[in-house]
Structure 1
Amino acid sequence: MLFATRVASTDILRNQFSKQHDEIEANILEERAALETKYQKLYQPFYTKRYEIVTGAVEVDGAPEEVKIEQGENKAVEEKGVPDFWLIALKNNEITAEEITERDEGALKYLKDIKWNRVEEPKGFKLEFFIDENPYFKNTVLTKTYHMIDEDEPILKKAIGIEWYPGNCLTQKILKKKGSKNINPIMVSPRLRTVRVSSNFSVHLKLMDNEKFRSKRQAKNKEVKEG
């Protein structure tokens, strides 16, 4: 009798209570998403103003007198807006700071804005990085799309490929191969090899490699089925 009671209690906990709990949790997530969408729209004017200040599209009034004097003395080298704003912001964030190498900093100086957008299907979000014309790559916008396993665990699923200018790829480094001691170095061109190096931009390369691998595997599976 006691065993049957325990089985019945366990069944209620597993089927009835668990189902009700999941329904409530689903409602919470749905309402949270609606709130985030609402307040994202309210944030937008602040983000627009931030972009204008960072890029120098608008001048900020009320600068301290000592700053005005210093600017007056250095008009020849004066830059508009807030130089290196996003590089400094990313380096001050404990998560993104770990991904930035010294090699990356030159390219990140050209970053002028970052935008966040919700993705509905599948649930997640997209980050857009807007970049000024620079000597490193042709792209003016880089994107990363994340899917949410749960509210605290985003997984990066897609990143746009980067069109690097020749010789300026930050995810690779060219090294000279050691030649034979018996060969006259003047008579032989140096042998070079390309190696991958750690970079904030490496994630774009890794995801592109994964996408190429999946495409090749799908093509191979299709050939096997058709054969």
Structure 2
Amino acid sequence: MAVMYFVCKPPNKNHRRRRRSSSFTAEFISWTTPADSEFLSCVIKMDADNEAKGKVSDQAMQNPQVLAALQDKIDSVSHSASIMDSLPKSVKRRVNALKNLQVNSTHIEAKFYKEVHELERKYSALYQPLFDKRRNIVSGEVEPTDEECEWQSDHEDEAALAEDMKKKAAIEEKTEDANEEKPKGVPEFWLTIFRSVDMLSDMLQEHDEPILKHLQDIKVIFSGPDQPMSFTLEFHFEPNEYFTNTVLTKVYKMKSEPDAEDPFSFEGPEIIDCDGCQIDWHKGKDVTVKTIKKKQKHKGRGTARVITKQVPNDSFFNFFNPIKVSPDKELDEDSEYTLATDFEIGHFFRERIVPRAVLYFTGEALEDDESFDEEELDEGEEEDQDEEDEDDEEEGDSK
């Protein structure tokens, strides 16, 4: 349905900026794009007159990943500087002209991605009637015709199995008790998807499941042509005993502009912020908080009393109350990770879950995802092996 091009990272890339206390400082941000990986971006700043005497912050020194990324950046900067230093002045001048051309190229690329977003918005209107029919079938509002239920399998064994199942279903239907209630639509369609997808099941708690049984549809709404780039996830619920909302929303704001200070870092549109919504819970049904009792003893009299208070509780529905970032406030590492993971989940809903929901329900899309992960792993292992072979060759040459 959509082109996967987003860079998911927390907003305000300079919000972890530290006051320069020495001639060499490191600013770093931690974020996650795949659910099981953490990427570190290091921005190195040096004073040319005294770069060798600088110190890295204690926090960075205690983080092996930051140190590794920092060393890679230093090596890269050193390599780039050594190349430029070795060039004649006239060649340096021409290289600077080439870099200006590269900056112009990033601005054209940004325009390209904006037009891609417009195409996605246009074609989402063509997809929507199909998704609306999917919702009606899942909820039981519409019963598909026999013709619509015909499915031609590519594999003979699957076709034979389907035919056997059809015959068995016909026999069972004849012998079925007429008073027995038949299931409506596709029960627990979205809940099954939540349970099956690792990224979502990690957020899912036991007390969330009865609520998600009432989830009827998830929609992706793109921003209009004259609006800032964004997309909205809409979670549509049937009337239930937990909250009065019929729709819960999550808005993801994006930008597609190269950074003025570092235009070469542009990799396409990025999610920069998100807004949730207020859930109007029925009394005693809010699963995002829990009530605890605590015994409190009076210091003077020695008497004790029991007090109750509400504390946050793990729940999928915390998804609709995301962390908000202030330019003046520094996020801790856990908050950064949570926010970045939130961005990745929103992107996954948009790119994978909503367009291919039935395949996640049946598990077929999970097999595709696993195959893709295995291919990436194989490529990574091959690269590691190549590096090891190169190291062995270098050791052999040195001997």
Q: Assess same fold via TM > 0.5.
A: yes
The 2-side partners of 1:130 and 1:175 are apart by 31
**1:141 is aligned with what amino acid?**
V
Whether 1:140 and 2:256 are equivalent positions in the alignment is no
Q: How does 1:173-212 map to 2 (within 5 A)?
A: 173-178=290-295, 190-206=306-322, 210=324
The 1-side partners of 2:309 and 2:169 are apart by 50
Instruction: Work out which of the residue numbers 94, 100, 112 in structure 2 matches 1:9.
Output: 94
Instruction: Work out which of the residue numbers 111, 125, 133 in structure 2 matches 1:41.
Output: 125
Whether 1:60 and 2:60 are equivalent positions in the alignment is no
User: Percent identity over the alignment?
Assistant: 33
Instruction: Work out which of the residue numbers 178, 189, 195 in structure 2 matches 1:91.
Output: 195
The 1-side partners of 2:273 and 2:195 are apart by 20
**1:164 is aligned with what amino acid?**
W
The 2-side partners of 1:23 and 1:75 are apart by 67
Report deviation, 1:118: 0.8
The 2-side partners of 1:46 and 1:110 are apart by 21
Q: After alignment, is 9-18 or 146-155 more displaced?
A: 146-155
**Which residue is equivalent to 1:220?**
none
What's the RMSD between the two structures over aligned residues? 3.0
The 1-side partners of 2:182 and 2:90 are apart by 80
**2:183 is aligned with what amino acid?**
E
Whether 1:18 and 2:103 are equivalent positions in the alignment is yes
The 1-side partners of 2:303 and 2:169 are apart by 62
Q: Could you state the TM-score of these two structures normalised by the residue count of structure 1?
A: 0.77
**Which residue is equivalent to 1:218?**
none
Query: Residue 127 of structure 1 contacts residue 143 of structure 1 at CA under 8 Å; is this kept in 2?
Result: yes
Query: Residue 128 of structure 1 contacts residue 144 of structure 1 at CA under 8 Å; is this kept in 2?
Result: yes
Q: Could you state the TM-score of these two structures normalised by the residue count of structure 2?
A: 0.46
Instruction: Work out which of the residue numbers 149, 166, 172 in structure 1 matches 2:289.
Output: 172
Whether 1:79 and 2:164 are equivalent positions in the alignment is no
Provide closer, same or farther for how the CA distance between residues 66 and 154 of structure 1 changes in structure 2, counting only shifts above 3 A: farther
Query: Residue 175 of structure 1 contacts residue 194 of structure 1 at CA under 8 Å; is this kept in 2?
Result: yes
The 2-side partners of 1:178 and 1:47 are apart by 53
Provide closer, same or farther for how the CA distance between residues 152 and 15 of structure 1 changes in structure 2, counting only shifts above 3 A: closer
The 2-side partners of 1:75 and 1:65 are apart by 22
Query: Residue 144 of structure 1 contacts residue 156 of structure 1 at CA under 8 Å; is this kept in 2?
Result: no
Q: After alignment, is 79-88 or 62-71 more displaced?
A: 62-71
The 2-side partners of 1:97 and 1:156 are apart by 23
Provide closer, same or farther for how the CA distance between residues 23 and 193 of structure 1 changes in structure 2, counting only shifts above 3 A: closer
Q: Which has the higher contact order (CA 8 A, sep 6+)?
A: 2
**2:141 is aligned with what amino acid?**
A
Whether 1:114 and 2:218 are equivalent positions in the alignment is yes
Provide closer, same or farther for how the CA distance between residues 139 and 147 of structure 1 changes in structure 2, counting only shifts above 3 A: same
Query: Residue 115 of structure 1 contacts residue 128 of structure 1 at CA under 8 Å; is this kept in 2?
Result: yes
Moved runs in structure 1, 4+ residues, more than 2 A? 60-79, 90-98, 148-156, 203-207
Provide closer, same or farther for how the CA distance between residues 56 and 147 of structure 1 changes in structure 2, counting only shifts above 3 A: same
Structure 1: gaps (5+ residues):
215-227
The 2-side partners of 1:95 and 1:154 are apart by 18
The 2-side partners of 1:73 and 1:153 are apart by 56
Whether 1:50 and 2:50 are equivalent positions in the alignment is no
Report deviation, 1:176: 1.8
Query: Residue 229 of structure 2 contacts residue 253 of structure 2 at CA under 8 Å; is this kept in 1?
Result: yes
Report deviation, 1:183: 6.2
SS at 1:142 equivalent = strand
Report deviation, 1:206: 4.4
**1:197 is aligned with what amino acid?**
N
**Which residue is equivalent to 1:104?**
208
The 2-side partners of 1:155 and 1:30 are apart by 15
**1:202 is aligned with what amino acid?**
N
SS at 1:90 equivalent = helix
**1:192 is aligned with what amino acid?**
T
Whether 1:154 and 2:271 are equivalent positions in the alignment is yes
Aligned length: 205
